[in-house]
């Protein structure tokens, strides 16, 4: 479906000395700094997959999406989307893709939402039967009925985002690019949007690339993630594989009866388990299941502590991604490469 081979993108950033002297000097001698936004990125996305494309601010996520969607042309490399080169055949590419780019709107500002959708129907030449069928789905899953008669400029951010998603999926695109679709939204709207994305993917096998800083979006929607850092792919694999790459992929929170000072960590766990003390009666144990099992830890703990309660959980995706970033930074510092 989507083939990305060794793409790179550089930007020339204009530099000017401060003050009037710098302004006059720049008229005759312009200086530029070349910044690499994306470097040698490659991946393949099959039909019907939801991919989480994540990274810190300035990592190159939006630049990649703009190249895949045909807005930008890569300086190097090749991209094909469903057999189309998006930046060479923009008209054909526009027919098969949908997009939601953060705060940018594809709806018409001063007219009701329903009229905006009607205009998009004519732009994409959507048959009436298909239009009505899709609109019925959007009304149900996105709860659009109360919004259809309201001008877009009068909608709240959450309401507008629901309408933007309807517009992006209206023509049954093969691929949809979602760039921060839940940014700034409250929890109830985020739940609606996630349910809608799942429903569209299941119903039409729509391929979806999702960029977000909300790791709950990734947890809820994606089985595979691609992590970008300084324009380079540092991870491409399953969400499960990402969790297994962390130093500690499990946590046990313990509550004991009595003061923890009287219960030192069993010797059999030392070296395999990292301990964080919360208070006099609560501990958090961090460990990796590749080195030691939950059963072994709990056996040793139950023999050593009068346990009142315990829970076994996974670390948050945020902490895992942060650990991978920090690992990359340390590796760059040790090798002198950035």
Which regions of the chain carry the CATH code 3.30.70? 247-314
**Tokens 């006099």 — which residue?**
280
Superfamily name and number for 45-243: P-loop containing nucleotide triphosphate hydrolases (3.40.50.300)
According to DSSP, the residues that pair with 229 across neighbouring strands are: 232
Provide CB contacts within 8 A for 292, sequence distance 6+.
269, 272, 273
Crossing angle of helices 187-204 and 157-169, in 10° steps, is 10
Q: What is the distance between the alpha carbons of residues 66 and 11, in angstroms, rounded to a whole number?
A: 14
Which regions of the chain carry the CATH code 3.40.50.300? 45-243
Q: What is the pLDDT of residues 156-172, one digit of tens each?
A: 888 888 899 999 999 99
Q: Where are the beta strands (DSSP E) in 262-329?
A: 274-279, 282-287, 307-313
Express as a percent the part of the chain with pLDDT over 70.
Answer: 93
CA-to-CA separations, 219 to 29, 194, 230, 240, in angstroms, rounded: 50, 11, 23, 10
Main-chain dihedrals φ then ψ at residue 15, nearest 5 degrees: -120, 140
Can you give the pTM of this predicted structure?
0.79
Q: What is the distance between the alpha carbons of residues 228 and 61, in angstroms, rounded to a whole number?
A: 7
Closest CA to 254 of 307, 300, 295, 292: 307
Q: What is the distance between the alpha carbons of residues 93 and 70, in angstroms, rounded to a whole number?
A: 8
As a CATH number, domain 247-314 is 3.30.70
Q: What is the pLDDT of residues 26-84, one digit of tens each?
A: 777 777 788 899 999 999 999 999 999 988 788 888 899 999 999 999 999 999 999 99
């Amino acid at each position: 479906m989507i083939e990305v081979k060794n793409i790179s993108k550089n930007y020339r950033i204009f530099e000017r000395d401060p003050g009037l002297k710098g302004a006059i000097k720049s008229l005759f001698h312009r200086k530029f700094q070349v910044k690499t936004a994306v470097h040698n990125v490659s991946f393949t996305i099959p039909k019907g997959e939801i991919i989480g494309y994540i990274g810190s601010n300035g990592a190159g996520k939006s630049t990649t999406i703009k190249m895949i969607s045909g807005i930008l042309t890569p300086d190097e490399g090749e991209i094909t989307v469903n057999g189309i080169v998006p930046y060479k055949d923009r008209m054909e590419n526009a027919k098969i893709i949908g997009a939601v780019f953060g705060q940018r709107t594809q709806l018409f500002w001063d007219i009701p939402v329903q009229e905006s959708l009607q205009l998009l129907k004519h732009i994409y030449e959507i048959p009436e039967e298909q239009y009505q069928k899709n609109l019925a789905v959007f009304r149900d899953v996105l709860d659009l009925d109360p919004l259809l008669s309201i001008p877009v400029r009068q909608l709240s951010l959450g309401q507008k985002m629901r309408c933007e998603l309807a517009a992006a999926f209206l023509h049954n695109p093969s691929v949809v690019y979602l760039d921060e679709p839940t940014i700034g939204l409250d929890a109830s709207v985020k739940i609606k949007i996630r349910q809608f994305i799942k429903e569209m993917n299941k119903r039409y096998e729509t391929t979806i690339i999702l960029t977000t800083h909300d790791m709950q979006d990734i947890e809820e929607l994606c089985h595979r993630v691609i992590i970008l850092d300084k324009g380079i792919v540092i991870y491409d694999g399953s969400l499960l594989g990402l969790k297994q790459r962390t130093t500690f992929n499990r946590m046990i929170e313990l509550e004991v009866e009595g003061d923890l000072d009287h219960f030192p960590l069993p010797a059999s766990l030392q070296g395999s388990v990292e301990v964080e003390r919360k208070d006099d009666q609560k501990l958090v144990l961090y460990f990796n299941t590749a080195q030691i099992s939950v059963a072994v830890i709990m056996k040793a703990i139950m023999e050593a502590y009068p346990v009142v309660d315990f829970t076994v959980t996974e670390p948050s995706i945020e902490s895992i991604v942060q650990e991978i970033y920090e690992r990359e930074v340390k590796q760059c510092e040790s090798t002198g490469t950035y």
